[in-house]
Amino acid sequence: MSELAEETFPEIREAVRRLCADFPGEYWQKLDRERAYPNEFVTALTEAGFLSVLIPEEYGGSGLGLEAACAVLEEIHRSGCNGGACHAQMYTMGTVLKYGSEKQKQEYLPKVASGELRLQAFGVTEPTAGTDTTRISTFAKRDGDDYVVNGQKIWISRAEHSDLMVLLCRTTAREDAAKPSAGMSVLLVDMREAVGNGLTIRPVRTMLNHATTELFFDDLRVPAENLIGEEGQGFKYILSGMNAERILIAAECIGDGRFFIDRASAYARERSVFGKPIGTNQGVQFPIARAYVQLSAAAEMVTKAARMFDEGHLGGTEANMSKMLASEASWYAADMCIQTHGGFGFAEEYDVERKFRETRLYQVAPISTNLILSHVATHALDLPKSF
């Protein structure tokens, strides 16, 4: 399939494609049936250095920017694989890199880069707070050299497969804080020590294999030296991580969309009905072409957002817009691909239905389309807030 623009980071993309070729659809289908974690795939990505592209060279990484990381995740998804098992490592470690002490960076980043430690869990969302992060209630109370954590988190992916977790909690009650976003702090939790000693993990079974869990904190003690940055400034610290998350997931959606367009185009050329390929019918051609147009436009927005991030701009609006456009483009492409395949689109062997389920997530997580529209309305258009 021809591309409208020259491919960025072609060497990285080709290397990712070669790696992903060793993990075909059958590998992912088996994991999906068993709800198993792709340890072999994550190990291969780690050993190839793809999960440490954002870590500076002095800490054992490649020292590249978010645009390069987007290229990695896009190609993973275009190849039919799924980066959801490990993509959090790219954006959660940014909190440590940007706001952690030099001691914390020296202690953790080289081990994350080498694969000795996995930093893949991001503990933010709570059952009663949802996407209103200012209303989280998980509380960390200082007690001597420790913080004692109590509370609950939900929709925390990869907690069972991560050595470390970036945890956002309150250290000052919301009603006592200067403003709703104040009084929150970030702790780096060692999951190896926490589980069974104040932290309980409960898997949440969903329609896709995403290693999703619910976390319960019951007097979990976390060393005070694991505080990232200053106490009470945690909300600010995770904002850049959230923007990176949205841009990286947008890149995954672009990869998903390309997967669906590639599969639909190939099937439309090969599948013959009434003596001719179904792709000769405009009723089949036009939805594929529309998916390509929409995805190409969304990809330009993702590139813009990634470059702004790499240049040091917060770019919250651009990050949100890229995620919305990419997720909607990938979902349209997914629906088109199913329709092109007809009944075969629901057959496991074609490996379309698995990706169909996976890409649907991204209009809901990590932020819903309606909340993105609310952000754009109030931040870009200066419209009054509705709450």
pTM: 0.95
Rounded to whole angstroms, the Cα distance separating 58 from 106 reads 9
Q: Which helix (H) or strand (E) holds 199?
A: strand 199-203
Rounded to whole angstroms, the Cα distance separating 104 from 132 reads 29
Rounded to whole angstroms, the Cα distance separating 31 from 226 reads 34
- Closest listed residue to residue 326, CA positions, set 265, 383, 246, 261: 246
* Lowest mean pLDDT, pick from 85-89, 102-106, 304-308, 318-322: 85-89
Dmax over CA atoms of the chain, in Å, equals: 79
Higher-confidence position of 106 and 93: 106
Rounded to whole angstroms, the Cα distance separating 155 from 153 reads 7
Average pLDDT, the chain: 94
Q: Where are the alpha helices (DSSP H) in 7-147?
A: 10-20, 25-34, 39-47, 66-78, 88-99, 102-114
Q: Which amino acid is at 38?
A: P
Is pLDDT at 122 greater than 60 in this prediction?
yes
The domain ranges of the chain are 10-114, 119-232, 239-380
- Overall average pLDDT of the 134-150 stretch: 97
Domains 10-114 and 239-380 share a fold: no
Q: Token pair for residue 165?
A: 């977790």
DSSP 266: H
Is pLDDT at 240 greater than 80 in this prediction?
no
The whole-number pLDDT of residue 1 equals 46
Rounded to whole angstroms, the Cα distance separating 257 from 326 reads 8
Residue with tokens 């190896």: 192
- CATH for 239-380 (1.20.1730.10, 1.20.140.10, 3.40.190.10, 3.30.750.210): 1.20.140.10
Distant-in-sequence, close-in-space partners of 51: CB < 8 Å, separation ≥ 6: 42, 45, 86, 89, 90, 115
- Tell me the CA end-to-end span of the chain in Å, nearest whole number: 46
Is 1.10.540.10 the CATH classification of the domain at 10-114?
yes
Phi, psi (5° rounding) for residue 257?
-60, -40
- Write out the catalytic residue numbers: 245
Q: Token pair for residue 161?
A: 């497969």
Give the pLDDT band (50/70/90) at residue 171. Answer: very high
Q: Which amino acid is at 360?
A: R
For residue range 1-46, list pLDDT tens digits in order: 445 556 899 999 999 999 999 999 999 999 999 999 999 999 999 9
Q: How far is CA 210 from CA 40, 87, 155, in A?
A: 16, 12, 10
Distance of CA 345 to the CA centre of its chain: 26
Top-tier CATH class for 119-232: mainly beta
For residue range 177-219, list pLDDT tens digits in order: 999 999 999 999 999 999 999 999 999 999 999 899 999 999 9
Distant-in-sequence, close-in-space partners of 290: CB < 8 Å, separation ≥ 6: 332, 336
Rounded to whole angstroms, the Cα distance separating 223 from 189 reads 9
Rounded to whole angstroms, the Cα distance separating 217 from 202 reads 12
Rounded to whole angstroms, the Cα distance separating 271 from 283 reads 14
The whole-number pLDDT of residue 91 equals 82
